Chains A and B, each alone.
Chain A
Amino acid sequence: GNSVTQMEGPVTLSEEAFLTINCTYTATGYPSLFWYVQYPGEGLQLLLKATKADDKGSNKGFEATYRKETTSFHLEKGSVQVSDSAVYFCALNGGATNKLIFGTGTLLAVQP
């Protein structure tokens, strides 16, 4: 079945450091891939998405490229800020029922 594997957290970085959060997936067909961000006490916000191989999603300085050959969708940002501290979820949607399959989430803590 479909699944998402996401790197364990917490990830602790200093402000302006480079961020990578790894995400790999297993799926049949050609799923859409998403990164959602959840700030404390809030719902999930769509950060970026990609719908086909080699697509790059980007938003607010974050980027992720849909790599079918490595079944990956790693999240990157060149220079993190304290305000980026949150939980990041990688997810895929590959079924007819549009059920999102989430990774376990990665807590990012950015220190000034």
Chain B
Amino acid sequence: DAMVIQNPRYQVTQFGKPVTLSCSQTLNHNVMYWYQQKSSQAPKLLFHYYDKDFNNEADTPDNFQSRRPNTSFCFLDIRSPGLGDAAMYLCATSSRLAGGDDTQYFGPGTRLTVL
């Protein structure tokens, strides 16, 4: 089955220690998104890639970076995690940005704990 995969499902890191979260997709979608979701809140978009074009949300901290080496993979790098970065991180994909089927499909998420 085509899907969005996130690894690891649970990640523990130390305050200030860089961490990378991984997302891969078998849907061959052009667009990949990263969301941050804190407890009992709606997901918050951090940034997205349309093919190789990177689009950062205005309020995304500089501490968060992303890489997309190819169509299938996208990484979220947190350069110096703080306690406030503990959250669920969700990856999503869509075939296009607008028009047609712009539905976003989500992965299972990575739960990040910062000690």
The residues of A with any CB-CB pair to B shorter than 8 Å are: 32, 34, 36, 41-46, 49, 89, 93, 95-100, 102-105
Contacts and interface: CB of A to CB of B under 8 A. Distances in A.
How many interface residues does chain B have, given as a range?
Answer: 20 to 34
B98 interface: yes
A96 B97 contact: yes
Given A41-B109, A97-B55, 4 more contacts: A43-B109, A45-B106, A97-B97, A103-B42
A50 to B, nearest CB: 11
A98 B106 contact: no
Given A32-B103, A42-B108, A89-B42, A98 B90 contact: no
Interface of B: 4, 6, 31, 40-43, 45, 48, 55, 88, 90, 92, 94, 96-98, 102-109, 111
Given A44-B90, A96-B97, A97-B97, A105 B106 contact: no
